[in-house]
Chains A and B, each alone.
Chain A
Amino acid sequence: MKLRQLGFSVDLSRCVGCRACELACQHKHPDTLHGYRRVRLLSEKSREQGFLTMACNHCVSPECMRVCPVGCYEKHRDGIVLHNSVKCIGCGRCVGACPFHAPVILPRTGKVDKCDFCRERLQAGKMPLCVEACPVEALGVCQIDCDAEIRRDNMVEQYTQPALKFIKGKEPICFWRGEENKNEERK
């Protein structure tokens, strides 16, 4: 079976840390405190720009799905991991388990919610709001050939460790791209 897998791509060499993506997400999800996307400041020793924008990475092995006791999470055939708020009991297990802190508990409902890749916008042929809001086009959407790409797992390794939690087993679908990769591509 040929699987589709949508993912975010982040060009670290372009990101200027303007937080437009964060604000766009917050605008779309006013019930949340900060939206589902975060721009993190990273050590300049390891990152040339020092910013890393991150939302749900729609992992191949979603930790949230493993720990949820009531089966709120589902991964669709396009690879997007969705959360079903109707079933959610607000236990917060997924919040603790996700290495990227993607699920958040909504203060108003006490239930969890997370980035849904702006699914309704994708269906309408538009880009997710965070991608559309990025003024420098650092954030994009990519469709990954799972079978070919996941084995390579180079960029994820290169740009997320050791700054983030141990993630190899989770196989996040997000590629962080920096100057080194650009040079490799040019070759």
Chain B
Amino acid sequence: MRKESKAAALWQEHTPEGKITLARQLTDIEFLLLDDRGDLRCQTAAFPPAQLSLLRNRRQAFIRHDMAVFAQLTIRELEQDDRVLGWLIADCPAEQLKADGLAVLEELSRHMTFLLWHELEIRETQRQHRDPFLYDVLYNNFSSAEEVIRMGRLWKMNFDKPHHVVVVEFDKPLPGDKNDQLLAELDNEWMRVLSARFVQPILMLLRMQLVVLFEENRTPPRSQSELAQIMADAVAKVKQDFPNIPPFSVGIGRLHYSVTEICRSFQEARQALSLGRFRQPENGITCYENLGVLKLLSHIRIEELDDYVQETLGTLIKYDGDNHTDYMHTLEIYFQENESLPQAAERLFIHANTLRNRLRKIETVMGVNLAHSEVRGRYYVACLALRIVRHSI
């Protein structure tokens, strides 16, 4: 075969792998292709392992353009518009290459330059679509998990590993421009704080919320309480660095192991954020797993909740109205502070004995004994329902 036709034969293949295999058949020279970071892209089957390890060990030499160490190899830099796209390497010193081998090498380097440039163009276009891609991941808008994992690698996202989903939102509505600006600042702060702890946190601003995804690389995975503690530390750090930031709350979804379930984790995080405000209206960190009875209450009609509140707490509310007392508030704080007398008393600015007396009075008014767990459970649920009703009407 003439040397021009040998080189022209390279057009028969369309991939880098196919082209270097064909070039090997045409010239009996082993070839190897490195990408722009010096990582192995593809090679022919019999490329000498010793040369390969030399290339791996001296990767920095490519960056410095110091090719003297590779005297036994012929190296062609693949460059387009002053940008290095990779290197094509032949396992033969340049002076030993015959004319037809040299022609194939030159033609192959042109082909590889085009292919790598084309791949780079595709990658850069795909990178521009990061946010829509993340939207699709969060809303399960893709055809297969494999596709998402492959696409995610364009942005160095390892969706083959499980991810936690956390949603952050300001507690009070802010004017449009200010909200955008503060969210962007929050985005920067969270990125800085989380980057110190996690390999590749993914942050995205979506509908006035900051959505954070990060990889779980521990076995067994972190529990939600551990995660809540990490988030609490991160919130404290953000507030320390950015003291004027308006109050914001955090919702944490459960850890699901497949990328197809990130959408569930996202919805759980949003629900935790939304319902968590009934417990702690500002600066709250709520895990979906800890929502407990709130999760059930959120599915009940407001009228039914209102009926339940009136049936259970109606007597106390009426007593408060008639006697200008504040027993309802006392009971709510008592439950919010996990039935701890010292803590509830501190929050109410009263002595623990005063609180004890008030609780006794509440028992008398309602005709119940709060020492019974069933009674306590009923009144705890009623207090939560009352918060939802108050918030909704």
Which positions in A face B, CB cutoff 8 Å? 1, 3, 60-63, 65-66, 68, 71, 73-77, 97, 99, 146-148, 150-151, 161-162, 164-166, 168-169
Could you tell me the distance between the alpha carbons of A147 and B306 in the complex, rounded to whole angstroms?
32
Please report which residues of chain B, range 269-305, place their CB below 8 angstroms from some CB of chain A when the two chains form the complex: 270-271, 274-275, 297-303, 305
- In the complex, whether B132 has a CB less than 8 A from a CB of chain A is yes
> In chain A, what residue has the closest Cβ to B388?
A166
Could you tell me the distance between the alpha carbons of A74 and B260 in the complex, rounded to whole angstroms?
10
Could you tell me the distance between the alpha carbons of A90 and B148 in the complex, rounded to whole angstroms?
26
Q: Are A1's CB and B135's CB within 8 A?
A: yes
Name the contact of B140 in the complex, choosing from A73, A146, A166, A168 (C-beta under 8 A).
A73
B155 to nearest A CB, angstroms?
Answer: 14
Name the contact of A3 in the complex, choosing from B179, B207, B263 (C-beta under 8 A).
B207
A5 to nearest B CB, angstroms?
Answer: 9
Q: Are B141's CB and A99's CB within 8 A?
A: no
Could you tell me the distance between the alpha carbons of A151 and B300 in the complex, rounded to whole angstroms?
24
Q: Are B274's CB and A71's CB within 8 A?
A: no
Q: Are B132's CB and A151's CB within 8 A?
A: no
Name the contact of A168 in the complex, choosing from B136, B173, B299, B392 (C-beta under 8 A).
B392
Some 17 contacts from A to B, beta carbons below 8 A apart, are A1-B206, A3-B135, A61-B267, A61-B270, A65-B267, A71-B261, A75-B140, A76-B139, A77-B136, A77-B141, A99-B299, A147-B207, A151-B173, A151-B208, A165-B300, A168-B391, A169-B274
Could you tell me the distance between the alpha carbons of A42 and B270 in the complex, rounded to whole angstroms?
31
B166 to nearest A CB, angstroms?
Answer: 15
Could you tell me the distance between the alpha carbons of A71 and B267 in the complex, rounded to whole angstroms?
12
- In the complex, whether B393 has a CB less than 8 A from a CB of chain A is yes
Number of interface residues of B (CB under 8 A): 37
Chain A residues positioned under 8 Å from B392 (CB to CB): 161-162, 166, 168
Q: Are B271's CB and A166's CB within 8 A?
A: no
> In chain A, what residue has the closest Cβ to B260?
A71
Could you tell me the distance between the alpha carbons of A150 and B270 in the complex, rounded to whole angstroms?
14
Q: Are B270's CB and A162's CB within 8 A?
A: no
Q: Are A166's CB and B260's CB within 8 A?
A: no
Name the contact of B393 in the complex, choosing from A68, A99, A151, A161 (C-beta under 8 A).
A161
Known A-B contacts A60-B207, A75-B141, A150-B207; A1 and B299 likewise in contact (beta carbons under 8 Å): no
Could you tell me the distance between the alpha carbons of A99 and B388 in the complex, rounded to whole angstroms?
16
Q: Are B267's CB and A66's CB within 8 A?
A: yes
Chain B residues positioned under 8 Å from A63 (CB to CB): 267
Could you tell me the distance between the alpha carbons of A94 and B271 in the complex, rounded to whole angstroms?
16
- In the complex, whether B321 has a CB less than 8 A from a CB of chain A is no
Q: Are A61's CB and B271's CB within 8 A?
A: yes
- For the complex of A and B, the 4 pairs showing the least CB-CB separation, nearest first, are A66-B267, A75-B139, A1-B131, A169-B274
Q: Are A162's CB and B267's CB within 8 A?
A: no
> In chain B, what residue has the closest Cβ to A72?
B140
Could you tell me the distance between the alpha carbons of A32 and B163 in the complex, rounded to whole angstroms?
38
B134 to nearest A CB, angstroms?
Answer: 8
Could you tell me the distance between the alpha carbons of A97 and B275 in the complex, rounded to whole angstroms?
16
Name the contact of A165 in the complex, choosing from B264, B270, B302 (C-beta under 8 A).
B302
B205 to nearest A CB, angstroms?
Answer: 8
A85 to nearest B CB, angstroms?
Answer: 15
Could you tell me the distance between the alpha carbons of A60 and B273 in the complex, rounded to whole angstroms?
14
Name the contact of B135 in the complex, choosing from A66, A77, A161, A169 (C-beta under 8 A).
A77
Could you tell me the distance between the alpha carbons of A1 and B207 in the complex, rounded to whole angstroms?
9
Chain A residues positioned under 8 Å from B107 (CB to CB): none
A107 to nearest B CB, angstroms?
Answer: 25
Q: Are B132's CB and A1's CB within 8 A?
A: yes
A7 to nearest B CB, angstroms?
Answer: 14
> In chain A, what residue has the closest Cβ to B167?
A61
Chain A residues positioned under 8 Å from B207 (CB to CB): 3, 60, 146-147, 150
Which of A73, A148, A169 has most B Cβ within 10 Å? Answer: A169
Name the contact of B264 in the complex, choosing from A3, A65, A77, A166 (C-beta under 8 A).
A65
Q: Are B264's CB and A74's CB within 8 A?
A: no
A98 to nearest B CB, angstroms?
Answer: 10
Chain B residues positioned under 8 Å from A3 (CB to CB): 135, 206-207
Could you tell me the distance between the alpha carbons of A107 and B322 in the complex, rounded to whole angstroms?
55
Q: Are A166's CB and B300's CB within 8 A?
A: yes
> In chain A, what residue has the closest Cβ to B305?
A166
Please report which residues of chain B, range 226-275, place their CB below 8 angstroms from some CB of chain A when the two chains form the complex: 260-261, 263-264, 267-268, 270-271, 274-275
Q: Are A65's CB and B388's CB within 8 A?
A: no
> In chain B, what residue has the closest Cβ to A2?
B131
Which of A62, A75, A76 has most B Cβ within 10 Å? Answer: A75
Known: A1-B132, A77-B132, A150-B207. 11 other contacts (CB 8 A): A3-B135, A3-B206, A62-B267, A65-B139, A71-B260, A75-B141, A148-B176, A151-B173, A162-B392, A166-B299, A169-B275
